[in-house]
Amino acid sequence: MNRQRLATATAILGLLGSLTTSAWAGGPAPGRQDPPAPVTRVPAAPGTATALSGYAIRSTAEVSDPAAAVSSPGYPATGWHRAGPRSTVLAALLADGVYADPFHSTNQQKIPKADFRVPWWYRSDFTVSDTSARTYLDFSGVVSAADVYVDGKRVATTKDVTGAYTHHELDVTSLVRRGTNTVAFRIRPNDPSKDLTMGWIDWLQPPPDENMGIVRDVVVRRGGPVALRDAHVVTKLDVPSLASADLTVRARARNDSGAPVTATVSGGIGATTFSRPVSLAAHETKTVTFTPSDVPGLHLTSPKVWWPAGMGGQPLYDLHLTASVSGTPSDTAHETFGVRDVRAPLNSDGARRYRVNGRALLIKGGGWSPDEFLRWDRRYVEDRLRYALDLGLNTIRLEGHLEPDEFFDLADRYGILTLPGWECCDKWEGQVNGDEPGDRWTAADYPVAKASMAAEAARLRDHPSVVSFLIGSDFAPDATIEKNYLDALKAADWNTPVVAAASDNASPRLGSSGMKMTGPYDWIPPGYWYAKREGGATGFNSETSAGPDIPTLDTLHRMMTPAELDTLWKDPSAKQYHRSPSSTFGTLKLYDDALAGRYGAPTGLSDYVRKAQLAQYENVRAQFEAYGRNATDAAKPSTGVVYWMFNSGWTSLHWQLTDRYLDQGGAYFGARKANEPLHVQYSYDDRSVVVVDNRHTAASGLTVGAALFNPDGSQKYGKTVAGVTVKGDGAHARALTLPSSVSGLATTYLLRLTLTDGSGKEVSRNVYWLSTKPDTLDWAHTDWYYTPTTSYADLKGLASMARVPVSATASTVTSHGTSTTTVTLRNTGSGRTPSLLTDVHLVDAKGRPVLPVRWSDNEVSLWPGESVTLTARCRTADLHGSAPRLRISGWNTPEHTVPAA
């Protein structure tokens, strides 16, 4: 995130990955003592990898026993807290009920930071029945550093185990005994300004423990004398034919014994098998390579090609390897990979343009946030990724916070591209960011950064969803850091583009990033996006949005007290704890002033939220529409846009298309509308009406209708254009241009666009609320986070719209754990007034939203007599035995609830 002129920015402390299996809030009643962490049973079979099942944790301030005792089997860990296999300290304490829900009000401020300024112990027991096999501890994700002990002996120090992303393998064969063994980590406190870990920057209020803990699995590996490591597949797809692909299989065979040995490395991919003997001296490591030249089956004809969602399927291949000694398996390795080609050259304007399998695509993405306490919940992550697809997004950007393996497995399966990279505003860029937060590097930091790059490259390279690594964010690395990163990537056989920075910066070898980070990050009017300057729709904007995204009223009631909610709508200058710790984003004043200036001052909390949803819908829609329209322009085309952000890691008032509870409001449905497959849209800059085809195939025989209405529903203009044709792959076709003035048109007016196919079926409808008085931008005083608005569009006329009844009939069917609700809405008003942005919420018997839910469409506008049928799908279990109901509301539609059983 671009904070280059944010002198008051504090490096918000945080951490890696996202993980713990503990409950997300609440948990046992305060004072309840959990039993010790379970003992992990480790099998002896070669090639097995068993994750420790959990830990007992306690502050070193409360443990006076020596490390040798704490880390020995049989140590009485009484009074210790339970932690999951992936858990920060605070995540474990929350699960144990020590603190109140930190997502509500200012509860998090009440958690004492001093408790986390000393090291904490993590200890876990595991059992083995056979000590003849070799045993290794394999892990990453320690935040920020640790001394490691096994059965009373220190096997690594904080100098060895430091940095959240570094990977470690410790041979503990000589220490492991038959029966119970103990591994213990003494975890050092984290400081993202001083440690190469992870911070929260200005995203949210930082956790008091700064995410200290172990946030990835610690794995106990067993094997024979020869270990297989670093197994992977390098793919080379013939582009553009896609008719063939060459696979190169590589792995390291390592002799961990003190005697020479000959191992046989064998494996297969599908029906293709291969094998080779490898002679290894004592403690020698060799790279074993299989190529199409020696294994013809590794040359694939008609390969199963992996595509991003919407462009094709997501087939995956599996690699299996075994190292045997004298016919006995010694170790195994397994990898899943996809066959695809990614290129991202700079276009003639210097912007980065991604191509997958030879086809160009507009990157439409969102910035990803894990849970604030890095608690991993696979289903919750999967729900959010499904939301991304529902919104028509194709990419997720991870600025730091590089999620665990399962995240990328899911992205592979769903066809969601990912842009991982290092983060700004802390130690990661401390050597190159001038006076920004983050300490300058010492000699000890360079090998840690290089090891981090090597570990993440090896972890991510086989995932077809990963299409780049951004080695810089707000700043590009200097020559030394860049060389270390690139050397690590090359050694890992990284074969997708490496980008110098997410901002418009360059590094010595990679050159220009081809990206821009020009904001905005706070409120600007929807017309802003159409200007080909600053954050407007040209080039690749790696992070941008109009800032605040006020959640639904349901979510607000869950996250704030009545007094806080009162302040929310009454006092624009009030500091909002649930926005950001940054002084720049501490209040909602820019947003609230615009809301009142354009729509009128709020009359209460419900009115404030109602106007916020309308404002967020129009702004998010405009952002994606502008980038979509300009994607195939001959001059200065748009090549990528990442909404900042897709989601928040806690209960937030800004930077989110969906909120912490997965509820959906104006921002969500504005993005969904803009990114629909075949779409008709209005251009704020030149009043053109265009059709954008986000599909691969062209469309012809289309009819575009445009009509202008006053708020009372009286039509003042109408035009229909038939025979419209538009090419696929994001192309657009101009259907018509609205007149600059229309007789009798009110200051505030509505525009209805319709797109019908050759059979007369409506395939896209888009309704805008506009003003004859435009928003006026003060471009000359643009700051890094916004461009001032000197006068606002007048949309106050919307308040005069007559109340319109919308009837609803609904039914629900359940199959295989999924409930599908079908609802037909009808504008039953007797006058001319449409129902504007009618929202339908699936709720339970108590009126609580049923989430997550995926709608075929929502927040629709209906003219008198019109009807529309929508469907909503949810997990039946999320109804909790309740009969489903539907809550209908809208800008000018009275709220009511109907049964949907």
- Residues with active-site annotation: 474, 543
Other C-beta atoms closer than 10 Å to the C-beta of 75 total 20
Cα angle for residues 426, 429, 430 (degrees, 5° grid): 70
Q: Which residue has the tokens 């423990």?
A: 209
* Cβ atoms of 89 and 121 closer than 8 Å: no
For 562, phi and psi rounded to 5 degrees?
A: -55, -40
User: CA distances (Å), 519 to each of 5, 523, 641, 642, in order?
Assistant: 12, 10, 11, 11
Q: Which helix (H) or strand (E) holds 484?
A: helix 479-491
* Cβ atoms of 394 and 310 closer than 8 Å: yes
Q: Which residue has the tokens 């009110």?
A: 746
Closest CA relative to residue 473, chosen from 446, 505, 498, 441: 505
Give, as one character, the DSSP assignment of residue 591: H
* Cβ atoms of 314 and 349 closer than 8 Å: no
Closest CA relative to residue 26, chosen from 107, 143, 145: 107
CA distance 697 to 659: 34
Other C-beta atoms closer than 10 Å to the C-beta of 499 total 23
Indicate if the alpha-carbon torsion angle 487, 489, 495, 500 is positive or negative.
Answer: negative
* Cβ atoms of 124 and 132 closer than 8 Å: no
CA distance 535 to 374: 31
CA distance 737 to 685: 11
CA distance 321 to 334: 6
Helix, strand, or coil (residue 785): coil
**What's the burial of 5, exposed, middle or buried (CB within 10 Å: 0-12/13-18/19+)?**
exposed
Cα angle for residues 246, 250, 252 (degrees, 5° grid): 175
**Helix runs in 588-721, H state only:** 589-599, 605-629, 666-674
Helix, strand, or coil (residue 79): coil
Spatial strand order in the sheet of 142-143: 87-88, 213-214, 142-143
Residue 462 makes CB contacts below 8 A (sequence gap 6+) with 232, 233, 335, 336, 337, 338
Instruction: Go through the chain and tell me how many residues it has.
Output: 901
